[in-house]
Copies of this chain bind each other. A is one copy, B any other.
Amino acid sequence: MNPRVAAIEPSLIRAIAAKKKPGSIDLGLGEPTLLPQQRFIDAAARWAAEHGVKYTVNAGDLGLRERIAAHYAYPGMSDARNVCVTTGSQEAVYVAIKTLLDPAKDELLIADPSFPAYAKMAQLEGVAYRHVHMRADEDFRYDADAILDAVDRATRVIVIASPANPTGRVLHDAGARRLAEGLLARGGPPVWVLQDEIYRELTYVDDPGYVAQYYPHTVVANSLSKSNALTGMRIGWLLAPDGAIEALNKTHSYVTSTASAFGQRVAYEIFGEPGALKEQSAWYREQLARVIAALDASGLRYVPVDGAFYACVKLPRGHDSLAAAMELVENRGVVAIPGRIFGDSLEGWLRLSWVAPIEDFEEGLRRIAAF
């Protein structure tokens, strides 16, 4: 067997979820509780009745790729050929890490706190990786200069999620410009930026930054999972410039061949209706106002929520986040995710998702504050 598979530790999130008791308040969820827009699923079912559900080309249905490319209209990647449709953003990120990095010599730099899959994918590929930690005393804001300072000669890809899971922080426009400027000023082979935009439609600041606007060596990963409550539809995509997209498509073609043609048709309908990607965003904005009120009332320290649907709260000094999460799930009827899962910099914090009904979030927060 492949020793790299064996070496990957099992998911702590799953270990905690497995301890959840009936009636517990689940603030561990990583997916929307809203229902998806059924009209798009019904339209795809009608389409299937007429056309069947056949292979698309490996990169994905041309019409869908045209719509995706035109929607984002990033410089140098606004043509259908710059899009690779994937099995969710998970495959998108996996294919990018596998393709853009040479395991023999390249290194992945991960802006932390971060979604643990980035590091685990690198492990699986035998790719070296390093974390650059955003600072707790700056509420984990993305610091472009800190990221630039961490780039070394082996660094070939920087992965940055904005809005971020777990912190909910957003790379601001000025930060995206600074990152682009700093990377362009470097000599030598390009350092790629892989921006994970999966929470893009759930952004609550006015000046979010998209590195692809400013920097030609950017690859973007995204999906319908969070924006359209379609986590289970498994439709994501990569956007990449000429020179990179061909290799990404090749890897994708051997890993999964193509994404679901049915899911692609759902996506085609969504991208064809102006506003459909943002239709559910209003719910999150309304929920956020109540979440902030509850956080303020709790007296707990929390990270400003720029985007996504998480709130990170600080445990009292000296508390271990895993022990706290275990105590909460076993004895207090609350599922919360320990910060250490997202890197050392978030140890001492808990990640709470707020997709559950607001009363549940408030009650969960009361129990955490009491604990």
A254 partner residues in chain B, CB cutoff 8 A = 8, 90, 94, 117, 120-121, 124
| Proximity string of chain A (88-116) to chain B, C-beta cutoff 8 Å, 1 when within and 0 when not | 10110010001111111000000000000
Q: Which residues of B contact A36 (CB under 8 A)?
A: 48, 52-53
Across the interface, do A231 and B54 meet the contact criterion of CB distance under 8 Å? yes
- Indicate if A250 sits at the interface (CB-CB under 8 A): yes
Chain B residues closer than 8 Å to A101, beta-carbon distance: 1-2
Q: Which residues does chain B contribute within 8 Å of A38, judged by CB atoms?
A: 48-49
Judged by a CB distance under 8 angstroms, whether A257 is at the interface is: yes
Measured between alpha carbons, how far is A261 from B266 in the docked complex, in Å?
14
The answer, yes or no, to whether A55 is at the interface (CB within 8 Å) is yes
Contact B52 A232 (CB under 8 A): yes
* Stoichiometry, copies per complex: 2
A55 to B90, CA, bound (A): 12
Digitize A35-62: 1 where CB-to-B-CB distance is under 8 Å, 0 elsewhere.
Answer: 1101001101100110011111000000
- Asked if A307 is at the interface of the complex by the 8 Å CB criterion, the answer is no
Count A-side interface residues using an 8 Å CB cutoff. Answer: 62
| CA of A294 to CA of B117, assembled, Å | 54
- Complex: A124 Cα to B259 Cα, angstroms: 19
- The residue in chain B whose Cβ has the minimal distance to the Cβ of A102 is B2
Whether A233 is near chain B, meaning CB under 8 Å from some CB there, is yes
Chain B residue at minimal CB-CB distance from A266: B262
Listed A/B pairs (30) with beta-carbon separation below 8 Å: A1-B99, A1-B244, A1-B247, A5-B247, A11-B253, A30-B55, A31-B54, A31-B55, A35-B49, A38-B48, A38-B49, A41-B45, A41-B49, A41-B53, A52-B232, A55-B232, A87-B234, A87-B257, A87-B260, A88-B256, A88-B258, A94-B255, A124-B251, A231-B261, A233-B260, A233-B261, A234-B259, A260-B260, A262-B262, A262-B263
A36-B53, A87-B234 known; 14 new pairs, CB 8 Å cut-off, are A1-B99, A2-B247, A35-B52, A53-B233, A87-B87, A87-B259, A91-B255, A91-B257, A120-B254, A234-B261, A255-B255, A256-B256, A262-B262, A263-B263
Residues of chain A at the chain B interface (Cβ within 8 Å): 1-3, 5-6, 8, 10-11, 30-31, 34-36, 38, 41-42, 44-45, 48-49, 52-56, 87-88, 90-91, 94, 98-104, 117, 120-121, 124, 229-234, 244, 247, 250-251, 253-263
